[in-house]
Structure 1
Amino acid sequence: MYRLLIADDEALEREGLEMMVKHVMKDQFEIYHAENGRRAIQLAEEKRPHIVFMDIKMPGIHGLEAVREILARHPDTRIVMVTAHDFFAYAKEALSLGVKDYILKPAKRDELLDILRKQIDALEEESGKRKEEMEIRLKLNRLLPLAENELSLMLMMDYVQELDLMYMAELLDLEWEKGYAVVISFPYQEQMDWEQFQHARKTMYEELKQYLKLQLPCMVSPMTGNRMAVFIPCPSYGAGYTHRVDSLQWGERLQAFAEGRFGLSACMGIGSVQEGIEGLRQSYQEAAAAAVDSSAVTRIRHFEDMQQLEGTAGISRAEEKRLLDTIQRLSRDEAYLIFSQIFDRLLHQYGENISGCKDELTALFISLARQLTRHSASDLMNRFAGVQDGKALREAVFTQLDRLLDELTEERKRRQFGVMERAKSYIHDHYKLEISMEQTAEAVNLSPYYFSKMFKLHVGETFIDYVTGLRIEEAKQLLEQEELSFKEICYMSGYHDPNYFSRIFKKTTGVTPTEYRKYLQKNVRSI
C-alpha cells in the first residue's frame, strides 16, 4: 500500500480528491491531509508519503516553499502540484524544482487516474532499481574480501595474474599514493596444546582484522601458516622518519591487542614507506625479513632500523632471497640446510661438469657477498679456483658459507657498536642541555622504540640512567670548586631545578650536594 499526502487549504478540495482516489484506486493508498504548507512539511517528515498532492496557493508557507523543503529532506518523494488556471505559471516553476506532474482544478477522474498510475509505475521502477542495486552491492560485499585476499597474496607471493594490481585496488576503493607493510607472526606457544593454539590463532585473526578495519583503511591478508600481512596507506606529506616512528607505535598497539586479548606472543616486522601499489611489494619483502629476525632485543622491528644497524639489502631472485634472509638471521643450521638443497640440485643438474656448477655457486656467493660483506669477485673466484670434484667443491663452498656468516656476525657487532658509540658521543655533547631519548634516537637515525632496546642491551643501563650518571659525575667535579654555588652547579651539570638536582644527587650518591662538599673539604684539610 502506498502513502498519499493531500495538501490544500480548502477542506472540500482535499476531501474531493480523497474520494476520487479511493474510487479509481480502491484500497491502494493510505491518505493524509495537510491544511497548509507547514503541516505538509511536518506530515512529510512523520509519514514519509510516496506521493504528495500539493496546492500551490496556501496561506503561510505556500506550496512552492513546502515543495523545496520536502524535496530537500526526502528527494525520492514524488510531488504532483494542484493548481487553478490562474496559477499555471507557478506550476511550470514547480516542475523546474523536481515536481513530477500537475493537476488542474477541478480535477477530472480520468486525469487523476492517469497521473496516479504514472507515479506508481515510476515508484515500482525505482523500487526495482534499488532492489537490483542492493543485490549487486550484496554480491560485491561478498566478493570484496576475496578481492582483498587476492590482492594481498599477489603482493606477498610476487606472482603475475591477469588482473591488474591497480584495478584490484580500485575495486577495493583503496588509494595507495604511499604505504607500508606490516608482517605479524605468531610463534607456536609451548604452554598451549596444538588444538588450543589453532583455535586461538583463528579467533585472534578474525578479531585482529576487525580491530584493524575499525582503526584505518588498511588491507589485511589471510593467515598463511602462523603469519599475516597488513598493508597500510599513509599520507603523502611528512618525513620518512616520522612515518617510521608512527608505524612502530601502530605495531606496539597491535602487539598489545594480540597479547592482551589472546595471550599470544606476536613478532612484527615493518617495511619502509613506498610509493604506489607496486611499492608495497618491496615494503612487504622488507617487513617479512624484519619479522623473521632472531634478535631478542625487541619483537617489533622496522626494516630501516635493522638496515641502519646491519647494512643489509634486498635481492630479487627467490633462492638468493631465501638464503639471504637466513644468513641475515645468522641461523647457521637453517643456512646449511637451504644451501645443501641448492648445492645438491646444482650438482645433479650439472653432473660431471663441475666447472658449470662452480660458476653458478661463485655467482651466488658474489651476489650474497656484495650485499652482506662487500667482498670482491676476485677473492671468491680465487678460493674456488683449484676445486676439481664435487666433494672438494662442497667443502669449499661450505667453508665460504661459514666465513660469510662469521664475517657478517662481526660486521653486525661493529655496526651496532658504532651506532651506539655515535649515540654516546651525541649524549656527551648535549647532556648539559635539554636532551631526550627521542632526540638522540633521531640523531643516529633509529626509531625511539628500537633505540631504547638497543641502548640498554649495549650500554647496560637505560638512557635516563646513563644521562643521570654523566650529570652527577659532572656535578661532583664542580663541587670541588668552592667558589661555585649549588645553584650554579645545578645549571652547569644540566639541571634546571636545584631541589630536583639535590634529590637526584642524593639518590645516586647516597649524600646531598652539601654533604658531599663537606666530605671533600674534610679530606683536603686532612692531607
Structure 2
Amino acid sequence: MYKLLIADDEALEREGLELMIRHLIPDTFEFLHAGNGRKAIELAEEHRPDMIFMDIKMPGIQGLEAVRQIREKLPAAQIVMITAHDYFAYAKEGLLLGVRDYLLKPARREEVAEVLRKLMAVIEEERRRRNEQLELQEKLAHLLPLAENELTLMLMLEHVQDLEPEQLAGLLELHFSKGYAMVLSFPRHGETGWETFRQSKREIYEAVKQFAKTGLGCLAGPLAGHQLALFIPLPPGRTGYSQRVSSLDWGERLRTYAGERFGLPLGIGIGSIREGWDGLSRSYREAVRVCADHQHSFGVHHYDDMIQSSGQTAVSLDEEKKLLTALLQRSKQEAAQRFSLLYDSFEQGGEQPLSAVRGEVTGLLLFLARGVHSTAGAELLASLNAAEDPRSLRLSAESWLERLIDGLEEEQEHHRSHVHQRALLYISQKYKEDISMEQTAEYVNLSPHYFSKLFRQHEGDTFIDYVTRLRINEAKRLISEDQLNLKEICYEVGYKDPNYFSRVFKKAAGMTPSEFRQQQEKPGPC
C-alpha cells in the first residue's frame, strides 16, 4: 500500500481524483485529503505520505510554498503539481523544487495512470536500494569486529594474511601513522582475583574494552588467555614524552576501573611509540615484555622507563633475537636453553666440523655482545679460537653467555646509578628555583611515577623531602655566615613566602630561623 495525499481547495476535485485512481489501480492506495496548504503540511508531517498531488492555487499557503516546507521534512516524498494552463509557469518552478511531475486540469485517466506508474517505480527502486543499504550496514556491523580482531591478531602474532593491514584499516576507517600498544594482564590461575575473572571473563572483557575504546579511541584485540592488547593512535600535537606520561595515567585509570567495578587487580605494560604497522607490532612485543618482567606486580609499567633505567635495547623475535631478549631480561635459564638449542643446530648432531661450528657460534656471540653493548669482542674471539675440541668450544661459549648476562646486571645497576646521579646534579643546580619532581623526571627522560620510585630506592627519601633538606641545609649555612637577613635567605633558598619558610625550617630543624640565628650568635664557653 502507498499513502497518497491529495491537496486541492475544491472537494469535488479531490473526490473525483480519488475515485479515478481507485478505479485505475484498485486496492493500492490509502488516501489523505487536504483543502488548503496548511492542512497539507500538517497531514504530510503527521502521516508521511509516499506521494502528494498538490494544487498550485489554494487559499492561504499556496501550493509551491507548501511544497517547499514539505520537502524540508520529507525529501523522499514524490510530489506531483496539479495546475490549470494559466499557472503553467508556476508548475515549472515546482519542478525546480524537486517536484516529480505535473498534471494539467482536468487530468485525463491515461495521464494519471502513467504518472502513478512512474511514481510507484521510483518508490520501489528507492525501497530496494534502502533495503540493500540496511542489509549492507547490518553485515558491516557484524564484519567490523571481525576485521578489528583480524588486524589486532596480525599485529600481535605477525601473521602474513591474504589481506594487508592497510585494507583492514581502510575498512575500519583507521588512520594510524604513529601509535603504541598497551597490554592488560588479568589475574592468572593461582593469583588473587583468578576465580572472579574466570567466572565473568566475557563481561569483564567487554566492559574493560569498551571503557578503553571510549577513552582512547583504540583498537582492541581478542582476549588471549589472560591478556588484552590495545593499539592506540598518537594524538596530533603530542610529544613522545607527554604521551608516555598520559599513557601511564590511562593505565592507572584502567586499573582503577577494573578494581572498582570488578574488584580485580590488573597489570599493565605499555610499549613505546612507533611508526607504521611493523612499529605497532614491535610496541606490542615491548608491552608484553614489560608484563613478563613485572608478572608478579599488578601495576603500570612503561617500556621506555625500563630501557632508560637499564640501558637495554629493543629486539625482534626471530630465534637469535629471542635469545637476545632472554639475555636482556637476565633470564639465565631461558637464555641457556635457547643458546643450547641454537648450538645443537650448529653442530647438526656432530656432523659439522669444528671450524664450521666455531664460525657459527662466534657469529652468534658477537651478535649478542653487540646487542648488550659489550666491548669484549676481541677477547671473545681469542677465547673461542683457542678452543681445540668441540667440548672446550662449547664450554667456552656457555661461559661467555654467562659473562654477558653478568655484565648486563652490572651495567643495569651502573646505568640506574648514572640516571640517579644526573637527577641529583640537576636538583643541586635547580633546587633554589621553583623545581618540581615532574620537571626532574622529564630531564632524565623517565615518567614521574617511575622516577619517584627509583629516587626513593636510592635516597630513602621522597623527592620533596630531599629538596627540602637541601634548602634547609643551605639556609643554615647562610644564617651562620650572617651576611643576609632572614627574608633574603628565604628567597635565596627557593621559598617565596617567609612565613611558609619559617614553618618548614622549624619542622626540619626543630626551631625557627630566628631561634637558629640566636643560637649561632651565643658566645662559646671560655
Give the Cα separation in 1 of the matches to 2:41 and 2:492: 76
Contact 2:8 2:54 in 1 (8 A): yes
* Residue number in structure 2 paired with 1:478: 478
Once the 2 structures are TM-superposed, how far is the Cα of residue 390 of structure 1 from its aligned partner? 4.0
In the other structure, the counterpart of 1:131 is 131
CA deviation after TM superposition for structure 1 residue 220, in Å? 1.3
Return the alpha-carbon distance in structure 2 between the equivalents of residues 215 and 100 of structure 1: 48
Q: Which residue does 1:410 correspond to in 2?
A: 410
In structure 2, what is the equivalent of residue 507 of structure 1? Answer: 507
Q: Which residue of 1 aligns with 2:377?
A: 377
Call closer, same or farther: CA 1:188–1:526 in 2, change over 3 Å.
Answer: farther
Give TM-score scaled by structure 2 length. Answer: 0.91
With over 3 angstroms needed to count, the CA separation of the structure-2 counterparts of 1:21 and 1:489, relative to structure 1, is farther
**What runs of 5+ residues in structure 1 fail to find an aligned partner?**
none
The farther-off stretch of 257-266 and 453-462 is: 257-266
Deviations 1:71-115 (A, max 9, x none): 333322222222222222222232233222222222333332332
Match of 1:153 in 2: 153
Is the contact made by 1:182 and 1:271 (CA closer than 8 Å) also made in structure 2? yes
Helix, strand or coil: the match of 2:30?
A: strand
State the match for 2:262 in structure 1: 262
**Identity within the alignment, %:** 50
What is aligned with 2:342?
342
SS in 2 for 1:426: helix
Q: 1:421 to 1:92 in 2, by over 3 A?
A: same
Per the TM alignment, residue 202 of structure 1 is displaced from its structure 2 partner at its CA by 4.0
**Per-residue deviation at 1:405?**
1.0
User: Which residue identity does 1:337 align to in structure 2?
Assistant: Q
1:302-381 matched pairs, under 5 angstroms = 302-316=302-316, 318-348=318-348, 351-381=351-381
Deviates more, 1:183-192 or 1:303-312: 183-192
Contact 1:373 1:407 in 2 (8 A): no
* Partners of 2:379 and 2:189 in 1: CA distance: 45
Residues in 2 aligned to 1:57 and 1:216: alpha-carbon distance in whole angstroms: 58
CA contact (8 A) 1:6 1:34 kept: yes
Cα pair distance change 1:83/1:316, threshold 3 Å:
same
Please tell me whether residue 454 in structure 1 is matched to residue 434 in structure 2.
no
TM alignment of 1:286-305, pairs within 5 A: 286-294=286-294, 299-305=299-305
Partner AA of 2:203 in structure 1:
T
Q: Do the aligned residues in 1 keep the contact of 2:80 with 2:101 (CA within 8 Å)?
A: yes
Task: Give matches, 1:273-292, under 5 Å.
Answer: 273-292=273-292
Instruction: Find the residue that maps to 1:221 and give its secondary structure.
Output: strand
Distance 1:72 1:360, change over 3 A: farther
**What is the alpha-carbon distance in structure 1 between the residues aligned to residue 287 and residue 123 of structure 2?**
54
Q: Which residue of 1 aligns with 2:245?
A: 245
Q: Secondary structure at the match of 1:161?
A: coil
CA positional deviation for 1:23:
4.1
Q: Tell me, in whole angstroms, the C-alpha distance in 2 between the residues paired with 1:378 and 1:483.
A: 60
TM-score (norm 1): 0.91
Query: Which residue number in structure 1 is paired with residue 488 of structure 2?
Result: 488
Match of 1:467 in 2: 467
Note closer, same or farther for the CA distance 1:216–1:5 as it changes in structure 2 (3 Å cut): farther
Matches within 5 A, 1:105-254: 105-188=105-188, 190-192=190-192, 196-254=196-254
Alpha carbons of structure 1 residues 14 and 309: separation in structure 2 relative to 1, 3 Å: same
Q: Read off the aligned partner of 1:72 and give its amino acid letter.
A: E
Task: Indicate conservation of the 8 Å contact 2:267/2:297, yes or no.
Answer: no
Structure 2: segments with no counterpart, 5+ residues = none
User: Using the alignment, how far apart are the partners of 1:32 and 1:525 within structure 2?
Assistant: 113
CA distance in 2, matches of 1:308, 1:298: 21
* Residues in 1 aligned to 2:454 and 2:340: alpha-carbon distance in whole angstroms: 34
**Which aligned runs of 4 or more in structure 1 are off by greater than 6 angstroms?**
295-298
Output the CA distance in 1 between the equivalents of 2:337 and 2:41: 79
- Name the Cα RMSD after superposition: 2.7
The 3-state SS of whatever aligns with 1:474 is helix
Distance 1:363 1:227, change over 3 A: farther
Cα pair 1:292 1:329 within 8 Å, conserved: no
Q: Report 1:430-441 matches (<5 A).
A: 430-441=430-441
8 Å contact kept, 1:218–1:230: yes
Task: Note if contact 2:186-2:197 (Cα within 8 Å) is conserved in structure 1.
Answer: no
Shift in Å at residue 172 of structure 1? 1.5
Contact (CA 8 Å) 2:268, 2:298: kept in 1 or not?
no
SS of the aligned residue for 1:170 comes to helix
Question: Which stretch of the first structure deviates more once superposed, 390-399 or 189-198?
Answer: 189-198
Q: Using the alignment, how far apart are the partners of 1:458 and 1:297 within structure 2?
A: 20
Matching residue of 2:48? 48
User: Do residues 81 (structure 1) and 77 (structure 2) align?
Assistant: no
Aligned residue pairs, count: 526
Report deviation, 1:377: 3.4
